[in-house]
């Protein structure tokens, strides 16, 4: 099993549980933290984890729920990111994106911050305005995630001819670290054991 550790984020690639050695790379639980944490430096990097919504159902509507496989992927995301130390969880205003990150938000005691999928200005304000040291998780769509990542100066990985994440791909995770005037991105496959379901096509 290959693992990627990024300051408290331990990603188990291709599995639905954290890496066996993740405990050595994750931040201590809040209960164990000192009573007076040091102030965050103004240039402390912001870390943003981007995922497309999990597998969606084909129910003939424009706002379908997740499939059973999608719900399993959402729970896998909880297992992977519970120790990430998320300070913000964002989602578009559709059922499939909210359902992808609501279990994680609940597990870490946060509320999902919902922004309309087509409100580029609101997304820009939210992500550009993250405070120093913030750790955010963003659930979007095959067409919105690449646009958000690129707008922040990052790379979203291999895309289709329309500049989108392929419709049948649900396991891409993009980790962006933004410092003053810099942005680095890494692209991973996550929870690959979650069975994929055919994408019905159309609006994502």
Structure tokens at 110: 């946060």
155 is a domain residue: yes
117 is a domain residue: yes
pLDDT at position 85:
98
CA 86 vs CA 27, 43, 198: distances in Å: 11, 18, 31
Q: Which residues contact residue 143 at a Cβ distance below 8 angstroms, ignoring those fewer than 6 apart? A: 162, 163, 164, 165, 204
Strands 46-52 and 172-179: antiparallel
57 is a domain residue: yes
Residue 182 lies in domain: 3-16+42-189
Buried b (16+ CB within 10 A) or exposed e, 121-135: eebeebbeebeebbb
197 is a domain residue: no
Q: How many domains does the chain have?
A: 1
| Beta-bridge mates of residue 182 | 179
29 is a domain residue: no
Neighbours of 14 (CB within 10 A): 14
**Any idea which residue has 């201590």 for tokens?**
28
CATH of the domain at 144: 3.40.50.1240
* Helix/strand/coil (H/E/C) assignment for every residue in 151-202: HCCCCCCCCCCCCCCCCCCCCEEEEEEEECCEEEEEEEEECCCCCCCCCCCC
CA 40 vs CA 37, 44, 132, 142, 176: distances in Å: 9, 7, 7, 34, 19
- C-alpha span between 9 and 182 (Å, rounded): 20
26 is a domain residue: no
Percentage above 70 pLDDT, the chain = 76
172 is a domain residue: yes
pLDDT at position 39:
75
pLDDT at position 198:
52
- pLDDT digits (tens), the chain, 204 positions: 334 444 434 543 333 333 333 333 333 344 444 445 557 788 899 999 999 999 999 999 999 999 999 999 999 999 999 999 999 999 999 999 999 999 999 999 999 999 999 999 999 999 999 999 999 999 999 999 999 999 999 999 999 999 999 999 999 999 999 999 899 999 999 998 665 545 555 558
CA end-to-end distance (rounded Å), the chain: 31
203 is a domain residue: no
Residues 116-157: tens digit of each pLDDT: 999 999 999 999 999 999 999 999 999 999 999 999 999 999
pLDDT at position 33:
46
Contact 98, 110 (CB under 8 A): no
């Amino acid at each position: 099993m290959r693992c990627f550790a990024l300051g408290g984020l331990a990603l188990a690639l291709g599995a639905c549980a954290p890496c066996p050695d993740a405990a050595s790379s994750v931040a201590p639980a809040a209960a164990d933290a000192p009573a007076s944490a040091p102030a965050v430096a103004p240039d402390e990097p912001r870390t943003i984890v981007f995922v497309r919504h999990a597998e969606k159902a084909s129910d003939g509507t424009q706002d379908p729920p997740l499939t059973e496989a999608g719900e399993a992927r959402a729970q896998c995301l909880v297992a992977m990111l519970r120790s990430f130390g998320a300070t913000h969880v964002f989602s578009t205003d559709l059922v499939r994106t909210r359902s992808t990150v609501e279990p994680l938000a609940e597990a870490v005691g946060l509320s999902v911050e919902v922004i309309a999928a087509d409100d580029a200005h609101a997304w820009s304000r939210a992500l550009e305005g993250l405070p120093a040291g913030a750790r955010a998780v963003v659930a979007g769509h095959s067409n919105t995630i690449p646009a958000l990542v690129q707008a922040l100066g990052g790379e979203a990985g291999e895309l289709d001819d329309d500049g989108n994440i392929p419709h049948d791909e649900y396991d891409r995770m993009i980790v962006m670290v933004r410092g003053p005037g810099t942005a680095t991105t890494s692209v991973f496959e996550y929870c690959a054991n979650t069975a994929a379901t055919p994408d019905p096509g159309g609006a994502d």
